[in-house]
Amino acid sequence: MPVAAADSFAKSSVAAIQEYSLLAGRAVGNLFSGPRYWADIFTQMDSIGAGSVPIVILTGFFTGCVLALQSETALQQFGAVSKTGSLVALSMVKELGPVLTALMVSGRNASGMASELGSMKVTEQIDAMRALGTDPTRKLVTPRLVATMFMLFFLTIISDAVGIAGGALVSVTLLGLNATAYLHSSYASLAYGNVVEGLTKAVFSGFIIATVGCFYGMRTEGGTQGVGHATTQAVVVSSVFIIVVDFLTSRLMIAIFGS
């Protein structure tokens, strides 16, 4: 019995990976042919981008504050408290900004995509779409993919900026650092490769959030209980994928830029 269960699990896992790859491939392929549903793309941009700004600002700001506060103790041992700006800027731009923004957007939007498409699936709206000659992948998945990748790029920039600002606030008001010195240190520490690394992670994370959320939504079964299960899976799987791809991207960028 355990052997049969393991065999069944392996087959279902391989089938799921195959289905996910085909869905992601079709969604990307739709970018190069018409028709294109621009109204849906802009609607998703508003929902994903503008709707996520408050939580991204709060997360980025307080992450920068905590970074500055915690780093002061460690840097003080080496007489390098003046390097707080460099530490906060590099941490936010290269790692924490892209990853935390992606995780916040994943929790908010991957779940939303899975529940929305899952509800459409169990109520047979997607089947009706096919019957009317509309490709559900082109109509439902591709607009969400484009919107998520595009908006997460700019949400990450916002998160980086407010994170550095939060670090500046703590450094100036609590640590007694000079604001000009902090900002100069932050700016001088950032290299071209650091910015490219952070924004590349944002684009990859946007791809993961949209494709995983839509994948679990499109394969929902079992009524409303299945919708809840798909929503949970979408958030968990996309979050794990984001962290794994973050490591792989970091390794690639270190190999390319050397830092």
Mean pLDDT for the chain overall:
86
- Within a 10 A sphere around the Cβ of 125, how many other Cβ atoms? 13
**Cis amide leading into 35 (omega within 30):** yes
- Within a 10 A sphere around the Cβ of 159, how many other Cβ atoms? 34
Interval 30-43 mean pLDDT: 86
Residue 174 falls in which region: left (phi positive, over 0), alpha (psi -120 to 50) or beta = alpha
**pLDDT confidence of 150, banded at 50, 70, 90?**
very high
Interval 35-52 mean pLDDT: 88
What is the phi/psi pair of residue 256, to 5°?
-80, -50
Instruction: Flag whether pLDDT at 157 surpasses 60.
Output: yes
- Within a 10 A sphere around the Cβ of 217, how many other Cβ atoms? 28
Instruction: Flag whether pLDDT at 33 surpasses 50.
Output: yes
Instruction: Flag whether pLDDT at 32 surpasses 50.
Output: yes
- Within a 10 A sphere around the Cβ of 252, how many other Cβ atoms? 12
Instruction: Flag whether pLDDT at 155 surpasses 90.
Output: yes
**pLDDT confidence of 149, banded at 50, 70, 90?**
very high
Dihedral of the alpha carbons of 191, 192, 193, 196, in degrees to the nearest 10? 130
Q: Is the pTM of this model over 0.85?
A: yes
Range in 110-114, 147-151, 160-164 the model is least confident about:
110-114
Interval 60-82 mean pLDDT: 81
Q: Is 193 exposed, middle or buried (0-12, 13-18, 19+ CB in 10 A)?
A: middle
* Contact (CB, 8 A) for 139 and 37: yes
d(CA 250, CA 211): 22
d(CA 199, CA 64): 18
Residue 63: per-residue pLDDT: 92
Which of the two residues, 17 and 81, has the higher pLDDT score? 17
Residue 1: per-residue pLDDT: 45
Range in 32-41, 46-55, 75-84, 170-179 the model is least confident about:
75-84
Q: Helices marked H in the chain — which ranges? A: 2-29, 38-45, 51-76, 84-91, 97-105, 111-122, 125-131, 136, 142-173, 179-189, 192-218, 223-257
DSSP 217-253: HHT--SHHHHHHHHHHHHHHHHHHHHHHHHHHHHHHH
Which token pair is 222?
């079992």
Residue 6: per-residue pLDDT: 66
Which token pair is 251?
């390794």
d(CA 231, CA 128): 22
Residue 211: per-residue pLDDT: 92
d(CA 81, CA 87): 10
- Report which of 247, 250, 43 is spatially closest to residue 148, judged by C-alpha positions: 43
d(CA 62, CA 68): 10
Please report, rounded to a whole number, the percentage of residues in the chain having pLDDT higher than 90. 27
Interval 232-243 mean pLDDT: 91
